[in-house]
């Protein structure tokens, strides 16, 4: 029997759509497993060697997708991940990569279709692995960003409403004051000034709220990048060909720092992050000197990509903090409850 790869790919596509649509597993409607897909492909004329080659292609596409994601080529990352799932709908981490790629694309384009796809793939990943940190971070970032956008929209609506009310009040007051004495006119003017003061107070408060939420959102993106870098630390230790007291002590030190960072806040958290980064640089040096060249080279490329991403997100975070801190300092007398936030210093 002749094997038709295009026909088989179309069948896999139908399997993926069915697995996403069905909520209950029944004998009649459940999607095929990967083993059953393999059996079907072989029955359609595919050889065992061709099947293995096709699966290898899927992993190559997924790796290319991850590399594009780290390089911030989000459209290409999505295309490569979809090629991987077109071959193997059950390939590990594909939904997490798709969710992350679509989220980053949404943050650039503000296209809600990208946001919806990011949420969809994140939830698909959590069905398989409820603790997947990438999927959890994607949903958290989207939720916080959505609240910031909604707050900004509501603030603008309030400002327009206040301006309309002020204009109406001014007109009414003008008609009243034209028939009153000088004393009554002074009293009404005082009321107008108070109203304008209140409007200005509310406007500034709205700006502070939006600026603070933007800081939180930018920090979430820094944390996502740091978590991605930290996820590769165990692989770096595993790549070291020898284990010494120094490497064991370094691993213990890194674990302690990661544990402290989870409960730390403010400048203390940033200081610990810088300490952790210094330890990771030590680990990279040891791994370069005592690991297999091919494995170390690949890991170094991936870690350096994550570190570049961390630096980029830190820069965006510090810019958001700068805008927020300027607002706080300019309006400290009116809003003493708002405090300036620390910058993320160091590498």
Give the residue-averaged pLDDT of 177-188. 62
**Terminal Cα-to-Cα distance of the chain (whole angstroms):** 60
Q: In sequence order, what are the beta bridge partners of 291?
A: 240
The CATH number covering residue 293 comes to: 1.20.58
Which token pair is 63?
A: 């790796």
> Which of 102, 131, 160 finishes a domain?
131
Q: Residue 58 falls within a domain, yes or no?
A: yes
Give the residue-averaged pLDDT of 339-344. 87
The per-residue pLDDT for 316 is: 92
Give the residue-averaged pLDDT of 5-29. 52
Say if residue 151's pLDDT is above 60.
yes
Position 67 confidence tier, pLDDT thresholds 50, 70, 90: very high
- Are residues 208 and 318 part of one domain? yes
Say if residue 16's pLDDT is above 60.
no
> Which of 131, 156, 176 finishes a domain?
131
For residues 274, 277, 282 and 287, what is the CA-based torsion angle, rounded to 10 degrees?
A: 180
Task: Show the domain range for 311.
Answer: 143-330
- Are residues 153 and 117 part of one domain? no
Pairwise CA distance, residues 83 & 54, whole Å: 11
The per-residue pLDDT for 13 is: 61
- Are residues 174 and 112 part of one domain? no
Say if residue 29's pLDDT is above 60.
no
Say if residue 132's pLDDT is above 90.
no
- Are residues 310 and 185 part of one domain? yes
pLDDT in tens, 196-243: 767 888 999 899 899 889 988 888 898 898 888 888 888 888 888 777
The per-residue pLDDT for 168 is: 67
The per-residue pLDDT for 96 is: 85
Structural domain count, the chain: 2
Pairwise CA distance, residues 217 & 150, whole Å: 13
The per-residue pLDDT for 128 is: 76
- Are residues 163 and 116 part of one domain? no
- Are residues 125 and 208 part of one domain? no
pLDDT in tens, 314-338: 899 889 889 989 998 999 888 898 9
Pairwise CA distance, residues 277 & 314, whole Å: 13
- Are residues 270 and 182 part of one domain? yes
- Are residues 273 and 163 part of one domain? yes
């Amino acid at each position: 029997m002749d094997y038709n790869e295009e026909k088989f790919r179309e069948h896999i596509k139908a399997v993926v759509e069915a697995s996403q649509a069905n909520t209950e597993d029944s004998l009649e409607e459940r999607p095929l497993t990967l083993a059953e897909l393999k059996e079907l492909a072989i029955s359609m004329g595919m050889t065992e060697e061709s099947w293995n080659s096709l699966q290898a292609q899927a992993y190559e596409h997924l790796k290319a997708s991850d590399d594009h994601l780290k390089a911030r080529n989000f459209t290409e990352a999505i295309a490569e991940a979809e090629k991987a799932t077109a071959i193997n709908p059950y390939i590990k981490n594909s939904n997490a990569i798709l969710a992350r790629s679509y989220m980053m694309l949404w943050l650039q384009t503000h296209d809600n279709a990208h946001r919806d796809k990011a949420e969809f793939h994140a939830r698909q990943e959590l069905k398989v692995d409820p603790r997947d940190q990438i999927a959890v971070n994607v949903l958290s970032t989207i939720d916080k960003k959505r609240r910031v956008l909604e707050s900004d929209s509501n603030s603008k609506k309030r400002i327009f409403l206040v301006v309309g009310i002020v204009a109406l009040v001014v007109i009414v007051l003008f008609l009243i004051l034209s028939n009153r004495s000088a004393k009554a006119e002074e009293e009404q003017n005082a009321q107008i000034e108070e109203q304008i003061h209140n409007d200005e107070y509310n406007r500034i408060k709205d700006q502070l709220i939006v600026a603070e939420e933007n800081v939180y959102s930018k920090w979430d993106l820094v944390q996502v990048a740091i978590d991605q870098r930290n996820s590769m630390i165990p692989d770096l230790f595993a790549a070291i060909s020898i284990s010494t007291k120094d490497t064991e002590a370094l691993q213990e030190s890194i674990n302690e720092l990661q544990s402290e960072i989870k409960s730390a806040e403010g400048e203390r958290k940033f200081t610990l992050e810088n300490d952790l980064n210094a330890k990771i640089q030590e680990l990279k040096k040891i791994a370069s000197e005592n690991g297999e060249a091919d494995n170390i080279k690949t890991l170094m490329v991936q870690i350096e990509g994550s570190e570049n991403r961390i630096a980029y997100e830190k820069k965006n975070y510090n810019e958001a903090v700068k805008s927020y801190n300027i607002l706080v300092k300019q309006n400290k007398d009116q809003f003493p409850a708002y405090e300036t936030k620390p910058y993320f210093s160091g590498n």
